[in-house]
Amino acid sequence: MADKIYIFDTTLRDGEQSPGVSLNVHEKLEIAHQLAKMNVDIIEAGFPIASPGDFEAVKAIAKEIKGPTIAALARVNKKDIDRAWEALKYAKKPRIHTFIATSEIHMKYKLRMTREQVLEKIKEGVAYAKQYTDDVEFSPEDGARTDLDFMCQVLETAIDSGATTVNIPDTVGYSTPEEFGNFIKNIKERVPNIDKAIISVHCHNDLGMAVANSLSALKNGARQVECAVNGIGERAGNTALEEIVMAIHTRKDFYDFYTDIKTEEIYRTSRLVQNLTGMSIQANKAIVGKNAFAHESGIHQDGVLKERTTYEIMNPAMIGLVHNNLVLGKHSGRHAFKTRLVELGFNLEEKELDKAFQRFKELADRKKEITDKDLEAIVEDEIKIVPEKYILEHLHISSGNRIVPTATVGIRVDGKLVEEAACGDGPVDAVFKAVEKVTNVKVTLQQYSLNAVTGGKDAIGEVIVKIEYNDKIYTGRGISTDVIEASAKAYVSAINKLYYDQGDQIYQKEGIM
């Protein structure tokens, strides 16, 4: 009989530690709701002691998200554990995930502790966490580089102290599949009380082997995988949730495992995480990249047309990529529009549907046919995660290779229309400077990216910007068939998130109030 593999999602904790990623509470809640819809077993909501923002996010998720276990990270000290429980206590199924480093290099240079001291800290920390909840997970940081004999002592101590899950991290992505699999096999054979806990693994992708290492660990006794949507995370990232899940599903003949993940939600979850983090997915990314189910070779195209399985080992519908023959255009009605959105997985409230339908009609006047990707872009752009203090009303551009680019923008600020004009090094720069004049906030543009949502000269352009203010990063996204308008929307979106996070103090710092 196939064994269940528990999916522990750390997108909101380790994933958010990706360089340049900063999610607010509402964005984390939005992702958490989608993770619950996808039916992950455990959501690691954050590291409450790390910051007030992390604490509030874990608390909000614990209160609102039903279904999955909600976990919070804590070092093996009372202050961390108390803070984690303060945020977690509202969850129906809370888990405290506590850790300490166990490799020689970490103990010597980071902790400056002996093996005996580390073992004592584990004993005290896990037992202390156990007072709050029966569900306690323990991780020996840098586990893959920890001496095997000592690792066995560490895990035996953690389980004796109350840990119900022991997670072995390849923290720096150093291990190889055969090596890591053997490590897990030895742990299973040599730790006397290992039958009292689930073995978990948390692999990083520094050498591109995180998924392979995780699968090898499962073959050797692990039954939980810690992973992140799109594989995001520290440095080169984590085990990609979509890859581990679809490998298990597609090759169940080899692995004899199963997960409870609703695979049809994978694509939407991937898109949501991409949009909110601003981390674009590479075209050839397995499972969710735009080329994952594309065929350019004539031989491949011929084979797929005759029989899909000649070159496609997975049905795109399995991850939520649904295609049908319903063509939407300027004459399509609200019912057809709503029906297509439902088929794509979007269930909007009436107000959201009204706004999205209006955007659809405006786009249909510019494009002959509307694709699924166009619809997804429209809906994702209309669903606002934070309140909008600033709303782009209109813009006018004067630009050319022999004149100074100038932009005029009209932005509603708390309902009142404010207009400003500015010159720049190009039309986008001019727009951004005009927006800054309206908002009275000076920010640093850290990243600007432009992608075509679909093909053709009338394609929707998707712009993602990252701005920095007061050492924090804010991501904005905008779409339009006009890339200048998309750029303006993205910039305004990022500033709205900045205002939501820091409020009127941004004006006080600028000396305006």
Beta strands in 340-460 (DSSP E): 390-400, 403-413, 416-423, 444-452
Q: In what order do the strands lie in the sheet with 403-413?
A: 390-400, 403-413, 416-423
pLDDT number for residue 80: 98
Query: CA–CA separation, 482 vs 78, rounded Å?
Result: 54
Query: CA–CA separation, 344 vs 54, rounded Å?
Result: 32
The answer to whether 154 and 217 have CB atoms below 8 angstroms apart is no
- Per 3-state DSSP, what percentage of the chain is helix, strand, and coil (rounded to 5)? 45, 20, 30
Three-class SS state of 394: strand
pLDDT number for residue 174: 97
Closest CA to 498 of 453, 450, 451, 466: 466
* pLDDT tens, residue by residue, 1-30: 789 999 999 999 999 999 889 899 999 999
Closest CA to 247 of 231, 232, 258: 258
Which are the contacts of 444, defined by CB distance < 8 A and separation ≥ 6?
467, 468, 469
The answer to whether 62 and 297 have CB atoms below 8 angstroms apart is no
* pLDDT tens, residue by residue, 445-469: 999 999 888 777 778 889 999 999 9
What ranges do the domains of the chain cover? 3-277, 322-382, 390-510
Choose which CATH entry (3.20.20.70, 3.40.309.10, 3.30.160.270, 3.40.50.970) describes domain 390-510.
3.30.160.270
Query: CA–CA separation, 91 vs 204, rounded Å?
Result: 28
pLDDT number for residue 262: 97
Q: Which element (helix H / strand E) includes 267?
A: helix 266-277
The sign of the CA dihedral 365, 366, 368, 374 is: negative
Query: CA–CA separation, 163 vs 93, rounded Å?
Result: 16
pLDDT number for residue 512: 46
Query: CA–CA separation, 507 vs 382, rounded Å?
Result: 27
pLDDT number for residue 325: 45
* Architecture field, domain 3-277: Alpha-Beta Barrel (3.20)
Terminus-to-terminus CA distance in the chain, angstroms?
A: 67
pTM over 0.95: no
Tokens of 431: 């727009």
pLDDT number for residue 436: 95
pLDDT number for residue 291: 84
pLDDT number for residue 317: 87
Q: In what order do the strands lie in the sheet with 461-469?
A: 444-452, 461-469, 472-480
The answer to whether 459 and 431 have CB atoms below 8 angstroms apart is no
Residues of the chain falling short of pLDDT 50: 296, 301, 304, 325, 512-513
Under DSSP, the state recorded for 293 is T
The DSSP secondary structure of 141-209, one letter per residue, reads ETGGGS-HHHHHHHHHHHHHTT-SEEEEEETTS---HHHHHHHHHHHHHH-TTGGGSEEEEEEB-TTS-
